[in-house]
Amino acid sequence: MALEESINRVVSLLSGRSLSPDQASDLAGMEAEEPGTLESAALKLFERKRDELRAIFDGESQCRKVAREIENRYGIDEGDIYQPESVGDLVALLKQARQIGVAVRAVGSARSLSDAPAPTSDTIMVSTCGLADALPVDVSVLQDSGQAEWLYRCGAGRTVAEILAELDPYPDDPARPMARTLQNMGAGQFQAVGGALCTSTHGSGITQPSFPQLVAAYRMVTFDEAGEVVVLQLEPSPDNGAISNPAAFAASQSRADIPVALVQDDAQFNAGLVSLGCLGIIYEIYLKLVPGFYLEEHRFTDWWSEVKTQLPQLLGDNDYFELLIDPVQSDNRGTPDNRVLRTQRNRVEAYRDCGERPRLMELATTEIGRITSAILLEWAIKSPPARVPRNLRTGVTSTEVECYTDKNYHVLQLNLDINSASTEPAVPVEHAAAAIDAVLAKVQANLDGMMRRFPPPYDLGLDRDTPFHEDVEALKAAWREVPIPTSPLGVRFVSANDAPLSQMYQRATCTIEMPMPGSDYLDQRTADDPASRRKLLDVYEAYLEGRQKLFTEVEQLLIDRFDARPHWEQANYLDRATTARVLPAFEDWLDIYRLRNASGLFNSAFTDRLNISVHPELSEEPAPLPDGQPVQGEAVFRHDRSENRGILKVKDELAKLLYQRLTQPVEEPRCRSLFFLSDRCKRMGVSCVASTQNLIDPYVVEFRFTPTGELLSLTQDYDLDNALALNRDYGTASFDGRLLTISGDAAAGLRDFVRAGRMVNSQPPPEPDDPVVLRLEALEKGDWDVEPF
């Protein structure tokens, strides 16, 4: 079949996300006959739909994009995300959160792959997308009025793309230079500046600044030593680059409705630069600008054995330098070696039209690129020893650039939009070659193990009806036990900074990124074939488990041998002891963290993992059982849509009583949080969880209900579309030693939740009586008769 005819047929197949088994087999056959057919077809389709795709992407608001990411990652609906539009909104939010005892998590673009922004059970999710305006710089408060031209002030929710669009009025005309620009940036313009700062985003260039070094000052809503909500502007000390005149600044705030206090202190400024939302909510940032400049890019393939001997010279000779390494060995004139794509970018005085980048690089920024990536991944996980090396080789060699010149940000930013997870340990730059060798050896050992399980000759097994060697169980075991990367390694080089939690803290750094894509389309592409769908999803699940195993092993390998540090935005698994070992200023950062988070409102899954979550102390005096008078407390009900359950929380002295009388600590905490589950609760078939997680009042008892009113277990077929939106209904609780009575909106919310669930499951709804009563007989003996409805 002629290549052009194959490409045209593949274009028609790619135009729809759902491929029939016959179409999938046809596509696989064309790819096997003419390798590269899929990529060529995807490019052709991209050219056809380019304007349509761009219009859809550009027309969607940033808040909607963030909400979609939050919903996809955490199962929280857009209506349940708090979107403040002013500092006053944030101040009111923290005061309310402190009053009701829930944590607060703020996100930028919600693209982080780690648990840094992840909400936990009692958390208000905050999107900073409504704090995204460009703001004027107040020249009257600056130390030097001439600084104003080289400062850019904006809300923390503003994206890098929006900043660059404002700085460059002629983005499509490379011959018209920019007056001002950012000196360095990460590869994606979709990042919000607040998120890029808090996770220590970086580009590549051993003399170039990382994102924390681009920040001159920032504003944060947090708590002071007395536990009061305060608004701060944090800057370095006057001897180290402070931009504001303290007297002029104080005068400017004297009549403000919400005054901002100026803090010019190196330790506090640096601690907040990379703080993962643990010190407060950053809502405004001052960025340092430089005169606009051009970069000339050259990307060409080489061999790792040759590059590593020249590495110090290559780093010194290039302004921006990075590597893309095929982790699977190829033949280099009779010697096993790894292919490398060298990317060298250097400043030039003026624009010259010396060439273009391949269209394949732009394709990866669109949905067509995501679909193509998903198909390639599907083939890879079905036949790893045969397909993975081919995919990796293509990934390294297909984006060579002989010469490309443009404004700096066009050259530095790639804006890949592919479903992917990655880990990116950072090692001292002097150990870069040895660390890369260690990772390559680990990958090669796993590949050898994979090939021993499935020796050649290889049946490509691209048809979804014929998985690799028709042995799905063996394939699943291989992915779980000897996983191999499905994308090239990205290697970057970054200068040192002074942020204590940054991976570049006080050392020049080499970062080694191992990305492994996922797929958004497996369900849709196999919807018409349930049997194949189940097989494919089983193998995909094993691949995802193996991906995490490989990430963990590579991270630990580089920690053990080179004191590697994590990129907090990427997958990482460090505990407190390891974090303190690899980040020498971690304990100093903790001192500031304990001050700003004394209330526990900035606790998170991340602080739980590091075992640094803060919980205010209560009296150790045990609460007595009721003696004549019922014990009163607060009751809160909410519908957790992410896990499809209703949660009734009982708080205050009543919760303390239940906590002390009903729960017994166990050695292993549940969910990496301070959870304690009583054995007697288990015996009674209920979920009674006492939690000190994310709460101002450490003693809280949870009753977890299914949508049909049962305790503990979850129904798997509940229709989420009919569920109520996530909310919090407040009421009161009273316990007289026998009956736990829930009144007010908390009782109504619980009843409505169960009524909706029973209607979906064709069960009789609960009676609308108020209150809801939980009958607890012989409390101390552990005999519970629970009759909520």
Q: How far is CA 205 from the centre of its chain?
A: 24
pLDDT tens figures, 253-310: 998 999 999 999 999 999 999 999 999 999 999 999 999 999 999 999 999 999 999 9
Mean pLDDT of the chain: 77
Query: Residue 569 has what pLDDT?
Result: 87
Q: Which tokens belong to 7?
A: 């490409």
Q: Which residues pair with 549 in a beta bridge?
A: none
Q: What's the rounded mean pLDDT across residues 120-143? A: 88
Q: Which residues pair with 489 in a beta bridge?
A: 325
Choose among 15, 13, 38, 45: nearest CA to 379: 38
When pLDDT is cut at 50, 70 and 90, the band that residue 776 belongs to is: very low
| Structure-token match 């409504």, residue found | 130
When pLDDT is cut at 50, 70 and 90, the band that residue 390 belongs to is: confident
Cα 466 to Cα 136, 450, 462, 536: the distances in Å are 62, 19, 7, 10
Query: Residue 784 has what pLDDT?
Result: 38
Q: How far is CA 440 from the centre of its chain?
A: 26
Percent helix, strand, coil in the chain, to 5, is: 40, 20, 40
Higher pLDDT, 360 or 586: 586
Q: Highest mean pLDDT: which of 4-13, 117-126, 250-259, 651-660?
A: 250-259
When pLDDT is cut at 50, 70 and 90, the band that residue 644 belongs to is: low
Query: Residue 534 has what pLDDT?
Result: 75
Higher pLDDT, 306 or 386: 306
Instruction: Convert 702-729 into a string of H (helix), E (strand) and C (coil).
Output: EEEECCCCCECCCCCCCCHHHCCCCCEE
Tell me the backbone φ, ψ of residue 710, rounded to 5 degrees. -75, 160
Strands 229-235 and 261-264: parallel
pLDDT at 144 over 80: yes
- From CA 110, how far away is CA 117, in angstroms rounded? 8
What torsion do the CA atoms of 615, 199, 489, 113 make, to the nearest 10 degrees? 60
Query: Residue 358 has what pLDDT?
Result: 81
pLDDT at 56 over 70: no
Q: What's the rounded mean pLDDT across residues 434-449? A: 96
pLDDT at 442 over 50: yes
- From CA 425, how far away is CA 353, in angstroms rounded? 37
Query: Residue 146 has what pLDDT?
Result: 93
Phi and psi based region of residue 540 (left: phi greater than 0; alpha: psi -120 to 50; beta: remaining): alpha
Cβ-based neighbours of 680, under 8 Å, separated by 6 or more: 662, 664, 782
Name which of 180-189, 538-547, 580-589, 656-665 the model is least confident about. Answer: 656-665
pLDDT tens figures, 82-128: 889 999 999 998 988 887 667 888 887 776 767 777 766 567 888 88
Q: Where are the beta strands (DSSP E) in 463-597?
A: 489-494, 509-517
Report the sign of the C-alpha dihedral through residues 34, 38, 42, 45, in that order.
Answer: positive
When pLDDT is cut at 50, 70 and 90, the band that residue 244 belongs to is: very high
When pLDDT is cut at 50, 70 and 90, the band that residue 47 belongs to is: low
Q: What's the rounded mean pLDDT across residues 625-630? A: 59
Higher pLDDT, 44 or 64: 64
Q: What's the rounded mean pLDDT across residues 768-780? A: 50
DSSP letters spanning 162-230: HHHHHH-S-TT-TTS--SEE-S---S-TT-BHHHHHHTT---SBTTS--GGGGEEEEEEEEE-TTS-EE
pLDDT at 697 over 60: no
When pLDDT is cut at 50, 70 and 90, the band that residue 353 belongs to is: very high
pLDDT tens figures, 518-539: 876 665 555 566 677 777 788 8
* pTM score, whole prediction: 0.77
- From CA 377, how far away is CA 394, in angstroms rounded? 13
When pLDDT is cut at 50, 70 and 90, the band that residue 650 belongs to is: confident
Name which of 2-6, 35-39, 779-783 the model is least confident about. Answer: 779-783
Q: What's the rounded mean pLDDT across residues 367-393? A: 78
Query: Is 41:28 a contact under the CB 8 Å cutoff?
Result: no
Q: Using CB atoms within 10 A of its CB, is residue 21 exposed (0-12), middle (13-18) or buried (19+)?
A: middle
Give the 3-state secondary structure of residue 103.
Answer: strand
Report the sign of the C-alpha dihedral through residues 88, 90, 91, 96, in that order.
Answer: positive
Query: Residue 215 has what pLDDT?
Result: 97
DSSP letters spanning 119-139: --TTEEEEEGGGS--EE---G
CA geometry: angle 512, 475, 552, nearest 5 deg = 30
Give the 3-state secondary structure of residue 696.
Answer: coil
